[in-house]
Amino acid sequence: MTRAHEEEVLARIAKGLVYTESEAAFQAPRRRTEQIFEYNHTPPSETEKRRSLLVAIFGSVGERTVLLPPFHAAFGSNVHIGDDFFGNVNLTFVDDVDIRIGDGVMIAPSVTLTTTGHPVHPSRRADFGRFSEPIVIEDKVWIGSNAVVLPGVRIGYGSVIGAGSVVSRSIPPMTVAFGTPCRVVRPITDEDLATRTAGHEAVPFGSSGGPEEEAGEPGGSVRIGRSVVRECR
C-alpha cells in the first residue's frame, strides 16, 4: 500500500466511513498486544513495572493511575487517560480510533468502550468492514459495571452511568443516566452532597468497586420519589 493510499484510508476512518481489515492492516505496528499481555501477568507487587508498561501501552497516561488486570485493548496506543483514574477488572478498549478519558474518572468491572461498529447489511461487512468514531469521557465521570459505551459518544463532566447501560448517545454533564438505551434520569444537584453520609437518609448510589467503597443499601441503588431503582452495581 502506498503512502497516498494509507492517507486516504486514514481520512476515511476520520470521517466515520466504512473501511476494511485489509485496508487498515498498515496500522498493525501500533497495536500493543505483547505489552498488554505482559501487564496482565505482572505481579501486583511490581508497581514500577506496571507503571512503565502503562506508559508504553497508552497514547498518554496521567499520574496516580490504577488499572486492575486483566484489561484488553485493540491497540492501546489510541487510549489517552488523565490523572487519578481508577479502572476495575475486565475493562475493554476497542480503540481503533481515540478514546480520551479525563481526570478523576472511575470505571467499574467489565465495562466496554468501543469506538467501532459494523454496517447492518452483510455485504458491507466483507473483510470485517467497519466504521469508527472517537469516545470522550470527561472529568469526574463514574461508569457502573457491565456498561457499554458505543462509537461517537461523549459523557459529560461528573455524570454517572448506571450498571448494564448501553450508551448509544452522548450524555450531558452532571446527570445520572442508565438503561438500554441509556437515558438521563435526573440531574446531579447539591442535594447529592448529603448522600451516603452517616446520619442522612438520602439518595444512595452504587459502588464503582473502587478502593473506598462505602456502606449503604445492598447492591447500590438510586431513590427517585418513593421508588428505588437499581443503579451502579
Domains of the chain: 3-230 (2.160.10.10)
pLDDT category at 125 given cuts 50, 70, 90 is very high
| pLDDT, position 130 | 97
How large is the average pLDDT for residues 205-210? 44
75-80's contacts with Cβ under 8 Å and 24+ in sequence apart are 75/27, 75/30, 75/31, 75/32, 76/31, 76/32, 76/33, 76/35, 76/36, 77/30, 77/31, 77/32, 78/30, 78/115
Give the active site residue among 5, 72, 118, 200. 118
- Nearest alpha carbon to residue 184 among 226, 224, 124, 132: 224
* Cell 508497581 sits on residue: 47
pLDDT category at 227 given cuts 50, 70, 90 is very low
CB 214 within 8 A of CB 222: no
* Mean pLDDT over the full length of the chain: 87
Q: Which amino acid is at 58?
A: F
SS3 content of the chain, % helix, strand, coil (to 5): 20, 25, 50
Is pLDDT at 216 greater than 60 in this prediction? no
Q: Which residues contact 225 (CB under 8 A, 6 or more apart)?
A: none
Name the percent of the chain lying above pLDDT 70. 84
Is pLDDT at 200 greater than 60 in this prediction? no
Is pLDDT at 217 greater than 70 in this prediction? no
Q: Across-strand partners of 99?
A: 79, 135
| pLDDT, position 1 | 75
| pLDDT, position 23 | 95
How large is the average pLDDT for residues 187-211? 59
| pLDDT, position 233 | 35
| pLDDT, position 204 | 36
Distances (CA, A) of 185 to 115, 160, 161, 169, 224: 25, 10, 10, 14, 9
In this structure, what are the phi and psi dihedrals at residue 57, rounded to the nearest 5 degrees?
-80, -50
Is pLDDT at 209 greater than 80 in this prediction? no
How large is the average pLDDT for residues 182-207? 69
Cα separation, 28 vs 134, whole angstroms: 19
Interval 135-191: pLDDT, tens: 999 999 999 999 999 999 999 999 999 999 999 999 999 999 999 999 999 999 999
pLDDT category at 194 given cuts 50, 70, 90 is confident
Is pLDDT at 61 greater than 90 in this prediction? yes
How large is the average pLDDT for residues 108-129? 96
41 is catalytic: no
